[in-house]
């Protein structure tokens, strides 16, 4: 009865792998059954089979040590090694539904009848479970080149497209005598208010989300020529020229909205944090975290001179329209300065260097930060609503995925690289972000 429970455990786990278990006949001593491996994603047989022997022990879980020994009958070992089919031994304790396995031919590779037949199992590495499929595959098909479809595993993929949930209801047009933006700035600064960049000058027309019949815009616009139109006449227009103008206006409005803590730098064509070293809290996928928005560095040259510079989180922005939904495409980057504002002399080299470091997680955390930063905050002290209101990042559900831990176990260098990035870029620990 207990023996049958051991076999049932193997069968249950093999079925979890979506492979087949066939018990051996009553006359077959030494082998309890055969595992036929199937590709779980396509349900196709792989033409690979292993033999399995089950042994039951009374109480594995009572023993808390990380390893345990199991003594095999030498006759069994000799039998298992005789054939060409790979054989696994599964030692289980059905009372606790734990099973541990080993590939017999590998363990007893150079075995002779005089050799010992005790197997030492390491519990943490040899637990028999659904994920053991990959290792079973390697034993059954030792030659490389077998192709399996990616596992069916629901995953969410996040894009760098931030949904635009709303803009001001009206766009205002007015005539102006100004021919160049510098003319406009000169007039605006005279009015002593803090003018923003949320406008476009096109020909002799002045365009903005601001009501141009109000200060300080009256200084720039010819009063009596101010007209307001529904924003939807532009945001929903299929005309490429209108769309082009609308994008220009959105870009300008974004600059005004983010100023002064995030400035637009026209040479680098990016928005970047300004100022001193600072960590900024943000809402990541599952919890609040902090990111180094501006980091301070220093290095000492051989001649003793000390160089200091700052790394500012930045992003390139592009407004895009997909099937009537406006989005902001965010491409994270960095700006290196000597004083919080002016570019540091090695900006280009440092940027190239950092791009070489960045992997999937590093860039995702930057995108998540900016998405959160751009979204409207609930501020008790002001009722100001930013003109452009952003929503969530567009995301997609995938039915296939990757089991990162499995791949990393064969490619530890990749994982180490990801950790190096996290440390050098002062990123939050993303394990915390993804596992609440």
Partner 1 sequence: MKFTFFEEPDLEFAGGGTHIDIRFGITRYGPLDLGDLRAPAQLRVGLVGTDETIAAIRQWFEHCKPGIARKESKLVNLFPEFPGFSVDTSFRSSLVFHDRWCSSIRQREIDAVLTHSDGDETVRQSVAMFVDHAEELIQQGGPMVLVCVPPHDLLAAVDERRGGPTDTDEQEIDEGSEALDPHQPPTISFHDLLKAEGMRLPVPLQMVRPKTYKGLQPRKKGKKTLSVPLQDEATRAWNIHTALYYKAGGIPWRLLRDAAELTTCFVGISFYRSLDRTRLLTSVAQVFNERGEGVIVKGAQAQLDKDDKTPYLPQSDAHALLKKAIQVYRQEHKTTPARIVIHKTSRVTPDEAIGFEAAAQEHSIDTVELLTVRRSLTRLYREGTYPPLRGTFVELQGASGLLYLKGSVNFFETYPGMYVPRPLEFTTFRAETPLERLAREMLSLSKLNWNNTQFDGGEPITVRAARRVGDILKCIPEGGKVQPTFRFFM
Contact criterion met (CB below 8 Å) for 295 and 344: no
Q: Please report how close the Cβ of residue 405 comes to partner 1 at its closest, in angstroms.
A: 9
Report 309-328 residues binding partner 1 (CB under 8 A). 316, 318, 320, 322-323
- Which window, 86-94, 157-165, 298-306, 369-377, contacts partner 1 (CB under 8 A)? 157-165
Q: Please report how close the Cβ of residue 26 comes to partner 1 at its closest, in angstroms.
A: 39
Q: How many residues does the chain have?
A: 436
Q: Does 414 bind partner 1 (CB under 8 A)?
A: yes
Q: Does 402 bind partner 1 (CB under 8 A)?
A: yes
DSSP code for 259: T
Question: Look-up: residue for tokens 């023993």?
Answer: 63
Q: Does 139 bind partner 1 (CB under 8 A)?
A: no
> Measured between alpha carbons, how far is residue 253 from residues 218, 264, 330, 398 in Å?
18, 11, 16, 35
- Our CB check for partner 1 shows the closer of 229 and 322 to be 322
- Our CB check for partner 1 shows the closer of 29 and 400 to be 400
Strands 67-71 and 44-56: unpaired
Q: Does 394 bind partner 1 (CB under 8 A)?
A: yes
- Our CB check for partner 1 shows the closer of 153 and 204 to be 153
> Measured between alpha carbons, how far is residue 126 from residues 65, 84, 85, 92, 169 in Å?
14, 23, 20, 11, 63
Q: Does 191 bind partner 1 (CB under 8 A)?
A: no
On the 0-12 / 13-18 / 19+ scale of CB atoms within 10 A, 156 is exposed
- Our CB check for partner 1 shows the closer of 188 and 368 to be 368
Check the CA dihedral 196-202-205-211 and report its sign: negative
425 Cβ neighbours under 8 A, 6+ residues apart: 292, 354, 357, 358, 362
Q: Does 153 bind partner 1 (CB under 8 A)?
A: no
Phi, psi of 37 (to 5 degrees): -85, 135
22 Cβ neighbours under 8 A, 6+ residues apart: 33, 34, 36
Q: What DSSP element (H or E) covers 370?
A: helix 360-374
The number of beta carbons lying within 10 Å of the beta carbon of residue 259 is 16
Exactly one of 113, 144, 224, 238 binds partner 1 (CB under 8 A); that residue is 144
Read off the tokens for 115: 């050799």
Q: Please report how close the Cβ of residue 198 comes to partner 1 at its closest, in angstroms.
A: 24
String marking each residue 60-99 x if it binds partner 1 according to CB under 8 A: ----------------------------------------
Q: Which residues pair with 230 in a beta bridge?
A: 170
- Which window, 142-150, 173-181, 197-205, 292-300, contacts partner 1 (CB under 8 A)? 142-150
Q: Please report how close the Cβ of residue 144 comes to partner 1 at its closest, in angstroms.
A: 4
- Our CB check for partner 1 shows the closer of 36 and 135 to be 135
- Which window, 53-61, 206-214, 369-377, 412-420, contacts partner 1 (CB under 8 A)? 412-420
Q: Does 367 bind partner 1 (CB under 8 A)?
A: yes
Q: Give the whole-angstrom CA distance, residue 374 versus residue 317.
A: 12
Q: Does 18 bind partner 1 (CB under 8 A)?
A: no
Report 282-311 residues binding partner 1 (CB under 8 A). 285
- Our CB check for partner 1 shows the closer of 277 and 408 to be 408
For residue 308, give the nearest of 300, 318, 298 by alpha carbon: 298
Q: Does 15 bind partner 1 (CB under 8 A)?
A: no
Q: Does 349 bind partner 1 (CB under 8 A)?
A: no
Q: Give the whole-angstrom CA distance, residue 66 versus residue 44.
A: 37
Question: Look-up: residue for tokens 């600072």?
Answer: 278
Exactly one of 12, 276, 355, 420 binds partner 1 (CB under 8 A); that residue is 355
Interface size with partner 1, residues (CB under 8 A): 48
Question: Look-up: residue for tokens 């109000």?
Answer: 214
- Our CB check for partner 1 shows the closer of 177 and 417 to be 417
- Our CB check for partner 1 shows the closer of 219 and 394 to be 394
Q: Does 159 bind partner 1 (CB under 8 A)?
A: yes
Read off the tokens for 279: 């960590």
Contacts with partner 1 by CB under 8 A lie at: 144-145, 147-150, 155-161, 285, 316, 318, 320, 322-323, 329, 331, 355-356, 358-361, 363-364, 367, 394, 396-402, 404, 406-408, 410-411, 414-415, 418, 434
């Amino acid at each position: 009865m207990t023996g049958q429970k051991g076999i049932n455990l193997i069968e249950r786990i093999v079925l979890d792998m979506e492979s087949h278990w066939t018990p051996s006949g009553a006359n077959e001593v030494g082998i309890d059954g055969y595992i036929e491996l199937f590709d779980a994603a396509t349900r196709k047989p792989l033409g690979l089979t292993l033999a399995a022997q089950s042994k039951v022990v009374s109480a594995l879980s009572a023993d808390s040590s990380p390893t345990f020994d199991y003594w095999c009958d030498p006759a069994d070992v000799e039998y298992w090694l005789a054939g060409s089919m790979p054989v696994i031994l599964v030692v289980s304790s059905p009372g606790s539904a734990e099973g541990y396995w080993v590939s017999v031919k590998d363990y007893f590779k150079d075995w002779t009848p005089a050799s010992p037949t005790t197997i030492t199992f390491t519990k943490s590495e040899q637990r028999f479970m659904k994920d053991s499929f990959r290792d079973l595959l390697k034993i059954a098909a030792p030659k490389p080149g077998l192709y399996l479809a990616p596992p069916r595993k629901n995953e969410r993929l996040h894009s760098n497209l931030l949904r635009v949930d709303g803009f001001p209801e009206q766009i205002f047009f007015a005539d102006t005598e100004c021919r160049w933006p510098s003319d406009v700035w000169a007039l605006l600064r005279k009015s002593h208010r803090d003018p923003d960049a949320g406008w476009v000058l096109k020909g002799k027309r002045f365009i903005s989300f601001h009501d141009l019949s109000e200060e300080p815009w009256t200084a720039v616009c010819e009063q009596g020529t101010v007209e307001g139109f529904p924003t939807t006449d532009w945001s929903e227009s299929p005309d490429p020229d209108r769309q082009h103008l609308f994008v220009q206006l959105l870009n300008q409005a974004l600059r005004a909205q983010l100023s002064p803590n995030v400035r637009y730098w026209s040479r680098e064509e990016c928005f970047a944090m300004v100022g001193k070293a600072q960590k900024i809290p943000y809402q990541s996928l599952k919890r609040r975290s902090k990111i180094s928005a501006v980091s301070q560095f220093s290095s000492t040259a051989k001649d003793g001179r000390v160089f200091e510079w700052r790394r500012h989180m930045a992003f390139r922005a592009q407004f895009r329209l997909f099937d009537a939904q406006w989005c902001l495409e965010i491409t994270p980057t960095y700006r290196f300065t000597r004083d919080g504002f002016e570019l540091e002399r090695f900006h280009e080299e440092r940027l190239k260097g950092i791009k070489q470091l960045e992997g999937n997680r590093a860039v995702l955390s930057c995108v998540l930060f900016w998405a959160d930063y751009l979204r409207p905050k609930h501020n008790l002290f002001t009722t100001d609503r930013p003109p452009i209101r952003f929503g969530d990042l567009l995301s997609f559900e995938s039915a296939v995925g990757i089991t990162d831990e499995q791949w990393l176990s064969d490619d530890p260098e990749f994982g180490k690289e990801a950790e190096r990035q996290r440390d050098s870029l002062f990123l939050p620990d993303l394990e915390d972000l993804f596992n609440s």
